[in-house]
Structure formats: C-alpha cells, structure tokens
A and B are shown apart, each in its own frame.
Chain A
C-alpha cells in the first residue's frame, strides 16, 4: 500500500461527499427557484401583456425584401434596373388542400415542373404564413384570366413586385452577369435572415461580386392577423433599405462599338485605362440576353444557349485561356534587354527556321523563306519567330518566367468579378508537378513565341499591355468606379490598387520596344499597318496568331483547306496615344486567322471611339 492509500479514511470521505451532495441539492433548489421566479414573472406578473400579444390579435412578423441597387455605366447610362412584374404567390397556411389548388391553378396559369419544385423548396424554408412565389413574370393576359377567378382560390395572390431588368438586353452581359432565383446553394453563403424576403440573388459577374452592395437590407413588418391568418392591419414597420447603386468604369458606348465590331466572330476584347486599371470595355462574344435568367429560364432556351457551338454562356474575357502567340514578343524583347541578354542592335540572321545544337528538329518561322538580318526593332515589327527562338534559347525558361510574372502572366488580375481564370506561364517546376516530366529545351523556344503551354486570358493580356504602356506599373483592374450609398446617395469612389510595379533598369530599353510597337502599326512593313489609314493619333501595337491546329514538321498550314473552327486565333494588343497612353486594348478573335487584318481593326474602332468621340 502506498502512503496515500493508508491515509484513505472512508468515514471522512463519506462525510465530505455527503456535505457536497447536500450543497448541490440546495444549489439545484435555488436555481430552479430562479426559473420558477422567471415563470412567475412571465405567467402571472406580465400575463396581461403577453395575453394581449397572443390573444385574438395575433402579431406576425413579415420580411420585406429590399429593392436591388441600380447599375450605371461611367456616363450614367442605366445597365440594370428593376421593373414591376406580376407574380403568382401562395400562402400555404391559408390553402385548405394545396395539391388540388395547384392542380386547379394550372387551368389558368401555366407553370412548369421547375416552378413547382422551386415553390416546394422555398415553402420549406419560409414560415407557413408567408407568401411564396409559384410563378414570376405573369403576362397581362394571364393576370386577367386569373384575377376573374381569384375569389375561388383562398390563399392565392397576384402581387406586383419589382424584378431585376436589364434594359439593354444582351449588351454587356459578360461584364454585368445576372441575377436569378435563390437556390439552396446560395443560401449557404448568405444570411437567411437578410434574404428572408428576397427571391433573387446575383449569380455571375458584377451582380454576384457586388451582391453585398446591391442587395440592401431586409425590412420588417409587424402585422396583426385574424385566426385565418389574413392581415388585418400593419402595427409596426421598419422599411427595407434599398441596395447601393453601382457606377461602372465601363463605357457602354465603347462596349457597344466592340460588340458590333465583332459581327459574326466569336472572341473577346478588354479595354483598360492603363493609368488606373479602370476597365473601359469588357466584351465576350457572342452575347446572350440575361433577362432570360431572371425569372427562371425555360429548358428549351437554356439548352439552346448551352448547346450552341459558339458557346455564348462562356465568358471568354475572363475564363477563356488562349496562347498569346506573337503578342508576347514585346514582353520578351523587353526581358532580353533588361536582363542584358541582348541589345537593341544585336542582329540574328533568319533563314526561315531555327535549330538547337545537337537536335535535328527545325523550329519554323511563319515566313518560310526567312526574314534575313533582324535587329530587335525589325524582329518585332515583322514578328520574326527565329529571332525570338534564339532570344528564348539564350535567356532560358527560368529567367523568362521570372520576368513574365512581373507583368502579371500566369496569375489572376484580381478583377472585381467572378469566374476569372489565371492563365498559365509554364516553368520547370510546373511541368514536373503537373505532368511529372522534365523540361525540354525545345519547349523554351515555343514558349518564347507565345505558344506551347503558355496561356493568357484576354483580360490578363489587356492588363499586361496596360502595365507595359505604363512602364511596368500594373494596376488591379476593376469595373466599378464608385458605389452610391443609399439613403444619402453619396458616392464612394473605389480606389485603384497597384498590383505590381516593375522597375525598369533603363528607360531606353522600354523605349526601344515601344518604338518597335509603334512601327508595327505605322511602319512600312508593320504587321498591323492596315489600320493606320487616316488615323489621327499614334498607336503602339503587336499582332499575334495562336495555333489551334498542330502542323506536322514539314507540312504547310493552308488556310483554305483548314475547317473554320481549326483556323488560328487572331490576336492584337495595343495602346494609344503612343506618347501618353489613355487606353490599352487586347483583342482575341477566335479562328480569325490574322491578327493584323481581323483583330487590329476591332481595336482601332474602340480606340477611335474612345479617343476621338469622347464627349
């Protein structure tokens, strides 16, 4: 036995435990007396008060949905507002036999299985005395038909409620996004209380990103109801607070010019003010009408949009990832100068292809016969591939990826919208991790002309171009200029954030590349010289072509014989005026074949509209 065991004294311990048991008994009596005291207060002292509350006057609390904030473009053009629309709503508690009522209603109003499913879902999360929409956006004729017979349906109501509307239809849909009916998944992300009266929520784009600004705050109404649940009078009301309005940086006029310039082509355009990161236009083509989604899109309409070969629902500007092709060359040229791998005067002789030492494979130039002697300026102006193969070979992939990251390649820009993708800038580590394979020297070459695994989004390309025009200062792009806070209606400016600043080793390096880019548009042999006719300002630009279709070693790419969807993507990046950049534009035309002839004219129209016609 241990020393402590010997000290164990059952008599003393029993006395200790008993004392504690008695103490706890006293304690329970005291605490339960507190509860009884509380019940005494509620049930006897304040009985009258609670009795009135509960008695024949039944007080209910109803949620009042706030009005969603409006969206304006930078000049005050309305992009999204709210219009009254009739809804068929049912108060489940007041309906004797819900199933038969629903069946009978079908004679007057056509509703789909989807409507019914949504109705049942929301009736689960709402209290039985709240009205729940069965169908939205009733036609006048339907309203008339039902209104005559409404007396037969207890608990069925036709209510006019404000509903989101996009007055310009498909215009700017990929920037705005849209709202749609709240579903279970949305509710996990928001407060059930705040959305107690709301039926819609932002699903995509600005509507989703700024949901917290646009939605507003729920209101509360205390009403008195009779035994059947009918509202007798409103006792108390704290009205909902309207959501904040958004003023965009986007210029609706510019956006429209871009949408029209695309005609039948698919692709994307992003225009940015390089001095502050404001998005002036963000277009993905084709566009679709977001109003379809507001009140629940029909299966037919949705299938048509989803299955269309042009994929209108796909936001190419933010989620589309394309090889940048030759539009990457100005960045590489600057990289070569800044890392002192090359100089502006150093020449490379182009014979139409490039070979790595000890490797038989020929890396071809787009110009089969070769460009001859190429210095940096000529290599950019005429887009010589061989020059850049050589430059890439000498720089090496490590130093290339280090430099390109500073201009935002391979990382998200952080725009204020949803579904942005990051693009991809390949590196040795990436390939080892992603494919489990080592990096081949040849991959450095094709990365060096913007092909291979190198991918950019149109937004990223525009933002990197803007950063280039700004001598390395890169902003986080944004589409909202200011938030108009209700009820005071004071405008709160959204400030511009610098996402990264690259310090040039020497301004001269930048100047060399810049001059070459001006030459691309204004030079005699520039690949985008078609757009300089009658131009009133100077543009710096670069064309690009991104391969969709792999061409074998010694085959020719023949535009005529290749099906349209396999044709190359046409790209163009530019900024203007060249001496004081106000706008940077990136254009990608899918299967457009030539950056110079297809993509550059679209950029020119946008720059014209912005620089010459600005009011």
Chain B
C-alpha cells in the first residue's frame, strides 16, 4: 500500500518534471549545490542572513529563468541565436562608449531600470551562434568553417578583454572553442594553433596584458614578492585551505575566514573558506558534485539527436567546467588571480543567472530528443 503510494508519487513527480521539460538528475544536483553554497556563503559572510536570503532569492529567480528557457523549443533557440549574438556584440560596443566604470573596468550598461553586463549574454550567445553555424556543415570542420567560427568568437572576446575583464573573456572564448573542438577540428590544426599561441605569448605578454594582469601572473610565481598586494590574496588563501586539513575546522569555525584574513571571501575566494572549514574530504565531495553535473551535461550532449544540440550542450557543460577549474585553481594558487566565480556558490547574481540559463538550454536540448524520436 505504502509502496504503491510512493511509486505513484514518484511517477507523478516524474511526469510533472517531464511536463516542465526538466531533467531530474541535473535539477537535483543543481539544487544540492545551491543549498550547499548558501551554507558556505553564510559562513563566509560572517553569518550575515541578509546576504544569504538575497542569494537564495537570486537562485530562485535563476531557476525560474532556467525553467522558462527549458521550455523554448530547440528550433526557436537556433533561430534567435544570430539575433542574440548581434544584440550582444552591439551592446558590448555600446559599453565601450557609454558604459559605467566599476572597479576600474568598463563593463556595465545602464538601461534605466536594468543594469547589467552585456558580456554575460555572450557566454551563451557565442556557443549558440557557433553551434548554429556548424550544425548544418559537414563535420569535421574545414578551414573555411574554422576561420568563420574563429572570427565569430574573437570579436566579442577581444571587446570583453579590453574592458578589461579577462575572466569573462576566457569563459566566452572557451565556450566558442569547445564547440569547435567538439565539431572535430583536426588535431594537427589545434596543435599548430597551440604552438603559434605559445610563440605569440611573449608578444601578448608585452602588449595585450594590463600591468595589473602581468603582476598577477608574476605574483603567482612568487607570491612573497608582493605580500601587501595581490600576493596577499594567494598567501592567505593557501594558509586557509592548508590549515583545513582532512576534515576541516568545521562550519563557521575557520579562523582565517572568520577573522577576515581572506579577501573577497564571499565572492571569488569563497572556495578557501570552504577548504578551511570542510577540509580535503569536503573538497573532494564538492568537486565530485560538480563533476556529476558536468558529466550529466556531456551525457545529454551525447544522446542528443542533432548536431546543434550535441555541440551546444557539450560546449556549455565544458564551460561550466572551466569556471570550476579556473576558480579552484586560482584559489589553490595554481593559476593567476582572474575574476571567475565559483559557480552557484560565490555571492553575486549576474554569473549565476547566466549559468542557470545555460542549464535551461541543456534541458531544452534533452527534451528535444523525446519529441523527435
């Protein structure tokens, strides 16, 4: 009796999720992560309830957006990708001229009621346009496709990099690159591009990077050289993580975090709070949750019935991985300090909304299959 009721309610939930075109696996993983994140944020913010409530509201709004996007038919998404892309690039150009300057970079566009970063749009629009373009071409991609796609990716990436916002530029660039990679750019092309890039590195170092960006890389190599500036971030973050040990100091008990040694501890450096309070064990669990999300996304990509879905779902999942890798790598002192948040855990609305919209796209791709097969 009980069992029957249970299975009945399960299938009822299942049907409700299907009706909303949501993927139960991905949805539960995202919610677990968001709850986990709120807990860490509560500690990182110095037990500030207001911040946690604000963050949960954002998660909620982002979830609603995700559901909305999951219900847009894939055909439609393909059709709007070109317009979304053009609008995004136009707004980036607008930011260049009318944008507001915040923290030394020109990233924000103020539309009266709404203030947002157009670069966020490109995180979705770039993989969408490249996937749309390549979906109808013969794969693996030829030289012409490679060139066209590269131009599509490079225009917004360069615009974002000169704002300057290196973190977002990396994310947008890798999203576009992953589509190309999945579409089968030949290995020899990739290797020669890699060689070319490393040859150009000294030139980029000299001309393309801002002083502060160069400093961050130098600081990474030798944090002690700049203990009052950006080296301070890395030194303190490493102490926090390292002192966490196997099981951590316990929630709300991280001395490094609670005594304000970690800068930006509720935003970009929140992982050091996590590492201090939950230890190596907690970190492994957290990274496994992330890995499960990434794998689920790749699985959906592999089971999509058309190239557009395969390419887009795959690229979005891999971009999610880049967030994770760049952020944890930076906090652990492996990568230079670049402004990339820890997805769904760092405090802040913009990137979370974009991420959830991305998952909305992935879910739409998953459902598209069901209607076609």
B-binding residues in A (CB < 8 A): 4-5, 7-8, 10, 12-14, 16-18, 20-21, 24-25, 28-29, 31-32, 34-36, 38-40, 42-44, 46-47, 49-51, 53-55, 58, 61, 63, 93, 127-128, 192-193, 196, 218, 220
Contact B229 A4 (CB under 8 A): no
A21-B301 in contact given A43-B280, A51-B245, A54-B239 (Cβ < 8 Å): yes
Q: Please tell me if the beta carbons of B295 and A17 are within 8 angstroms of each other in the complex.
A: no
Q: How long is the Cα–Cα vector from A24 to B175 in the complex, in angstroms?
A: 13
Q: Are B259 and A218 in contact (CB under 8 A)?
A: no
Closest residue of A by beta carbon distance from B238:
A42
Which residues of chain B are near A35, meaning CB under 8 Å? 287, 325, 328-329, 332, 334
**B329–A16 CB distance below 8 A:** no
In B236-277, the 8 Å CB interface with A consists of 238-246, 255-256, 259-261, 275-276
**A13-B307, A17-B307, A35-B328 given; 20 more Cβ-contact pairs under 8 Å:** A16-B140, A17-B139, A17-B302, A17-B310, A18-B302, A20-B314, A21-B182, A21-B301, A28-B291, A31-B325, A35-B329, A42-B238, A43-B242, A43-B244, A47-B245, A54-B255, A55-B243, A58-B261, A218-B228, A220-B227
A220 to B235: give the CA distance in the assembly, Å: 15
Let me know if B184 is at the binding interface, CB within 8 A: yes
In angstroms, Cα B261 to Cα A54, docked, is: 10
- With the chains together, A196 CA to B228 CA distance in Å? 8
Contacts of B283 in A (CB 8 A): 36, 39, 43
Q: Which residues of A contact B140 (CB under 8 A)?
A: 16
Question: B298 touching A24 by the CB < 8 A rule?
Answer: yes
User: Quick check: B307 and A32 within 8 Å, CB to CB?
Assistant: no
Interface size on B, residues (CB 8 A): 56
Contacts of A193 in B (CB 8 A): 226, 228-229
Chain B residues positioned under 8 Å from A13 (CB to CB): 138-139, 184, 307
Q: Can you name the residue of chain A whose Cβ is closest to the Cβ of B181?
A: A20
Q: Chain A nearest CB: distance from B260 CB in Å?
A: 6
B29 at the interface (CB under 8 A from A): no
Known contacts: A20-B184, A21-B182, A49-B242. The answer to whether A44 contacts B229 by CB under 8 A is no
- B243 to A40, Cβ gap below 8 A? no
Which chain B residue shows the least CB distance to A236?
B227
On whether A21 and B228 interact (CB within 8 A), knowing A16-B184, A43-B279, A58-B259, the answer reads no
B246 touches A43 (CB 8 A): yes
- List chain B residues, Cβ under 8 A from A17: 139, 182-184, 301-302, 307, 310-311, 314
Chain B, Cβ-Cβ closest to A6: B138
B137 at the interface (CB under 8 A from A): yes
Answer whether residue B294 sits at the interface, using C-beta atoms and an 8 A cutoff: yes
Q: Given that A8-B138, A24-B178, A54-B239 are known contacts, is A39 also in contact with B280, CB under 8 Å in the complex?
A: yes
Q: How many Å lie between the Cα of A389 and that of B259 in the bound state? A: 79
Bound-state Cα–Cα, A351 to B310, Å: 99
Q: Closest CB-CB distance, A363 to chain B, in whole Å? A: 52
A24-B298, A44-B280 known; A50 vs B243 contact (CB < 8 Å): yes
B63 at interface by CB-CB < 8 Å: no
- B133: which A residues are within 8 A, CB to CB? none
Query: Which 4 pairs, one residue from A and one from B, show the smallest C-beta to C-beta distance?
Result: A50-B242, A54-B243, A43-B280, A193-B229
Q: Is the CB of B238 within 8 A of A36?
A: no
- Tell me whether A51 and B182 are in contact (CB under 8 A): no
A61 near B137: Cβ-Cβ < 8 Å: no
Complex Cα gap A218–B229 (Å)? 12
Contact B139 A34 (CB under 8 A): no
The docked-state distance in angstroms from the alpha carbon of A12 to that of B140 is 10
Q: Which residues of B contact A5 (CB under 8 A)?
A: 136, 138
Taking Cβ atoms with an 8 Å cutoff, the residues of B that contact A are 136-140, 178, 181-184, 226-229, 232, 238-246, 255-256, 259-261, 275-276, 279-280, 283-284, 287, 290-291, 294-295, 298, 301-302, 307, 310-311, 314, 318, 321, 324-325, 328-329, 332-334
Instruction: Tell me if B's interface is mostly helix, strand, loop or mixed.
Output: helix
Look across to chain B and name the residue whose beta carbon is closest to the beta carbon of A44.
B280
Q: Which residues of B contact A50 (CB under 8 A)?
A: 238-239, 241-243
Q: How far is the CA of A35 from the CA of B321 in the complex (A)?
A: 12
Contact of A24 among B229, B291, B314 (CB under 8 A): B314
Tell which of A8, A40, A50 has the most Cβ of chain B within 10 Å: A50
Q: Tell me, rounded to whole Å, the shortest Cβ–Cβ distance linking B321 to chain A.
A: 5
Residues of B contacting A220 in the complex (Cβ-Cβ under 8 angstroms): 227-228
Q: Complex Cα distance A5/B135, Å?
A: 11
Q: What would be 16 A-B contacts, judged by CB atoms less than 8 Å apart? A: A10-B307, A13-B139, A17-B139, A17-B301, A18-B302, A20-B184, A24-B178, A24-B314, A25-B294, A25-B298, A28-B294, A31-B321, A38-B329, A42-B332, A43-B279, A50-B238
CA gap between A8 and B141 in the complex, in Å: 11
Closest chain A residue to B260 by CB distance? A128
CB distance from A322 to the nearest CB of B (A): 40
Q: Is the CB of A38 within 8 A of B334?
A: yes
A61–B227 touching, CB < 8 Å: yes
Q: Which residues of A contact B301 (CB under 8 A)?
A: 17, 21
C-alpha gap A63/B136 in the complex (Å): 61
A58→B238 CA distance, assembly (Å): 14
Q: In the bound complex, do residue A54 and residue B256 qualify as a contact, i.e. CB atoms below 8 Å apart? A: yes
Q: Given known contacts A24-B318, A40-B280, is B243 in contact with A47 (CB within 8 Å)?
A: yes
Q: Which residue of A lies closest to B246 (CB)?
A: A44
CA A557 to CA B332, docked complex, whole Å: 82
Contacts of A61 in B (CB 8 A): 227-228, 232
In the assembly, what is the distance between CA of A193 and CA of B226, in Å?
8
Distance between A267 CB and nearest chain B CB, rounded to angstroms: 43
Say whether B184 contacts A58, CB under 8 Å.
no
C-alpha gap A59/B291 in the complex (Å) = 36
**Which residues of B have CB within 8 Å of A196?**
228
A192-B103 Cα distance, complex, nearest whole Å = 14
Chain A residue, CB-CB nearest to B229:
A193
Check B178–A42 contact: CB distance below 8 A: no
Closest CB-CB distance, A562 to chain B, in whole Å?
52
Known: A29-B291, A32-B291, A44-B280. A24 touches B181 (CB 8 A): yes
Q: Which residues on B sit within 8 Å (CB–CB) of A42? A: 238, 241-242, 275, 332-333
**Chain B residues, CB < 8 A from A93:** 260
A186 to B239, CA, bound (A): 33
Which of B226, B239, B275 is packed against the most chain A CB atoms within 10 Å? B239
Q: Which residues of A contact B229 (CB under 8 A)?
A: 192-193
Chain A contacts for B275, CB-based, 8 A: 39, 42-43
Tell me the bound Cα distance from A21 to B299 in angstroms: 9
Q: CA of A27 to CA of B321 in the docked complex: distance in angstroms?
A: 10
